[in-house]
Amino acid sequence: MAKHTITLIPGDGIGPEITTAMRRVVEAAGVDVEWEVAEAGADVMDKHGTPLPEGVLESIRRNKVAIKGPITTPVGTGFRSVNVALRKELDLYACLRPAFSIPGTGARYDGVDIVIVRENTEDLYAGIEFEQGSEGAQELIEFVESRGAGRIRPDSGISLKPISVSGTRRIVRFAFEHAIANGRKKVTAVHKANILKHSDGLFLRVAREVAEEYAGSGVEFEDYIVDATCMQLVLRPEQFDVLVLPNLYGDIVSDLAAGLIGGLGIAPGANIGDECAVFEPVHGSAPKYAGKDMANPTAEILSAVLMLNHIGEREAADKVLAGVKRVLSEGAQVTYDVKRTLTGSVDGCVGTQAYADAIIATFA
């Protein structure tokens, strides 16, 4: 196989530790990679005046593939999320979050095998907001009232929820194409169309139109209200296959799905566009564990498995996945979070790098 040049964004918090573990595992699996390290986040603000320097975007555009650690988003003040900006700048419209059971994680469920396809660029995450008391908020409130569309309390802050035909069409097509390419049997569109008629209602209408295009594909289509979906996921997760959701529901439901399979330390993800793909775990930077060699790198390593499949390194992807499954099912060398779920105590857990060593040892 040819050498791959991949952009590596270590991130902050536990990011540098878990990406180091991931990198060691990928290299030990025999993949020839040149990592182009690109820094983003609060730490580069002073030097570049932005948490997402243009050089990072250029590197990803050039290499087409990146893998990252989590990046902290300061609450209330400071910059907007680098993670959201990256997805918008590169138009990474599909967020793929598989949730599958791995024996040995101590998860409450067995046999979960769901793929969550979350729309990544619009909905309430479009970032179109009007601060309470601002001129813009005032004008919008007056406009809404003048159109007879309803009354908004004058002391409101407002976030817009745009959902487009084109944005919905491409994400639902992505979900069907993913289902077909991976031998999956059903796509479920998740929404709240009964209440949000012009945003989620549009999402459902377009999803049904796209499902018609795939009528002969062997992939079944159904739709579910988001609250009912959450209840059904907890009750009988095995009934679901591929879920396709607007941005906010996708974010929430993918954390729920992570809970089904043993927690955030296990759940991988990918952000995919027509040009580039950026792989990253579902979880955040868990600042309280930063620098302690404690965090579970499984989600980061499984994100690399998705990446290896994406770049055609299927043999290495299978090898890494098998290594992760073996170490977890043996249960002797697992990180604090898994040990705690299994035994109620963290006694006998191993650190981030020792866990990576245990995976690497399975390659021998």
- 120 touches ligand NAP by CB under 6 A: no
Q: How far apart are CA 292 and CA 126, in angstroms?
A: 35
* Residue 251 annotated in active site: yes
- 51 touches ligand NAP by CB under 6 A: no
Question: Could you give phi then psi for residue 170, rounded to 5 degrees?
Answer: -70, -35
Q: Measured from the CB of residue 11, what is the shortest distance to ligand NAP in angstroms?
A: 6
Q: Which residue has the tokens 């952000």?
A: 271
- 284 touches ligand NAP by CB under 6 A: yes
DSSP string, 185-251: -EEEEEE-TTT-TTTHHHHHHHHHHHHHHTTTTT-EEEEEEHHHHHHHHHH-GGG-SEEEE-HHHHH
Q: Measured from the CB of residue 346, what is the shortest distance to ligand NAP in angstroms?
A: 9
Q: Which residues pair with 114 in a beta bridge?
A: 99
- 251 touches ligand NAP by CB under 6 A: no
**Interface map 2-31 toward ligand NAP (x if CB under 6 A):** ------------x---x-------------
- 200 touches ligand NAP by CB under 6 A: no
- 349 touches ligand NAP by CB under 6 A: no
# chain residues binding ligand NAP, by CB under 6 A = 18
* Catalytic hit among 110, 185, 197, 227: 227
* Residue 227 annotated in active site: yes
Nearest CA-CA partner of 60 in 30, 82, 81: 82
Q: Which two tokens stand for residue 136?
A: 């813009």
Q: How far apart are CA 170 and CA 5, in angstroms?
A: 28
Q: How far apart are CA 176 and CA 337, in angstroms?
A: 34
- 73 touches ligand NAP by CB under 6 A: yes
* Residue 46 annotated in active site: no
Q: Which residues bind ligand NAP (CB under 6 A)?
A: 14, 18, 70-73, 83, 264-265, 280, 283-286, 295-296, 299, 337
Q: Known catalytic residues?
A: 125, 192, 227, 251
